[in-house]
Amino acid sequence: MKKLAVVAFGGNALLRAGQTGTADEQEQNSYETCKNLIELIKDDYNIVITHGNGPQVGSIYLRSEAGYTLYKIPKMPLDISVADSQGEIGYMIERQMRNLLIENHIEKKIITVLTQVLVDKNDSAFSVPTKPVGPYYLKEEADLLAKTNNWLFKEDPRKRGWRRVVASPRPMDIINYELIAQLANEGHIVVAAGGGGIPVYLDEKNTFRPVEDAVIDKDLASALLAYQIQADAFFILTDVAKVCLNFNKPNQVQLDELKLEDAKRYYDAGEFPAGSMGPKIMAAIKFVECSGKETIITEATQLHDLNSGTKIVL
């Protein structure tokens, strides 16, 4: 049987530093990132692709606000914006991946699955919004938007500006994960859990309801999906080749392998910041702990070498 891998695209898979986010830019970035998956396919992996959506969902939400201001078009809530971004980004990844399959003479189908993710309506995360969405603003712009829309803003840790923050509840269940697994194990490439999925909860009548003003961390959702579909490996793509201790300091150390207990210890000690490697390490911990299989954190161009990156193992 072929092996099954979940590959979580990092933010630079679609939007690079200094870019404005045009369709041409994002499509070219999608092509360059997807190109690195060809080696995994040639290594007999079936693939599920997940991705982030922070800048895109923020732009979609701002378009909704502008449409209401200028033309009184009804505003759409954040969950609808997340769904929009899944379709938008999934379409770009699908088309570029399909082109690459043709170029490499590989016979495979690819499909995007609009993905809802179950969360707990009483999750403590709702009382402490932390997840940034949308573009960076000057302090004065952020203050005006906060007052106008009742939004919460926080300054970026790297001083790049102010961004809106929303709640990020823990993912509990990937809706339709069984179908995602079936499609992937049949050899189809599946794009799923985009942006961490659309957060939903079950009300007292056991009815699925949308969660407003919240997004789910895509790495944690990807880890849960990888576990639920019994993936053999979980790849988290980022903009560095390896996880480092003392990142960007004179005593920086690159890690080839990280034992689960050490990953937990470093994480608890604050070695991996929340706005950087932290969510990826936590996602790796969750997958390795639940599945007993390895997570590889690496840069997309290193996927041709399965011994590259940092392996988090039991």
Task: Name which of 314, 291, 287 is nearest 7 in CA terms.
Answer: 287
Name 210's bridge partners: 200
Catalytic residues: 11-12, 131, 218, 280
Residues 153 and 162: their CA atoms lie apart, in Å, by: 6
Q: What DSSP letter does each residue of 179-215 carry, written as one string?
A: HHHHHHHTT-EEE-SGGG-EEEEE-TTS-EEEPSSB-
Amino acid type, 169: P
Tell me the C-alpha distance between 173 and 199, whole Å. Answer: 10
Does residue 272 contact residue 278 with C-beta atoms inside 8 Å? yes
Say if residues 192 and 180 touch (Cβ distance below 8 Å).
yes
DSSP state, residue 303: T
Strands of 152-155's sheet in order across? 131-137, 162-166, 152-155
C-alpha dist (Å) from residue 66 to 71, 79, 148: 8, 18, 13
Q: Is 103 helix (H, G, I), strand (E, B) or coil?
A: helix
Nearest 10 degrees: CA dihedral of 37, 39, 40, 41? 90
The CA-to-CA distance between both ends of the chain, in Å, stands at 24
The answer to whether residues 61 and 44 touch, using CB atoms and an 8 Å cutoff, is no
Place of tokens 């969660």: 211
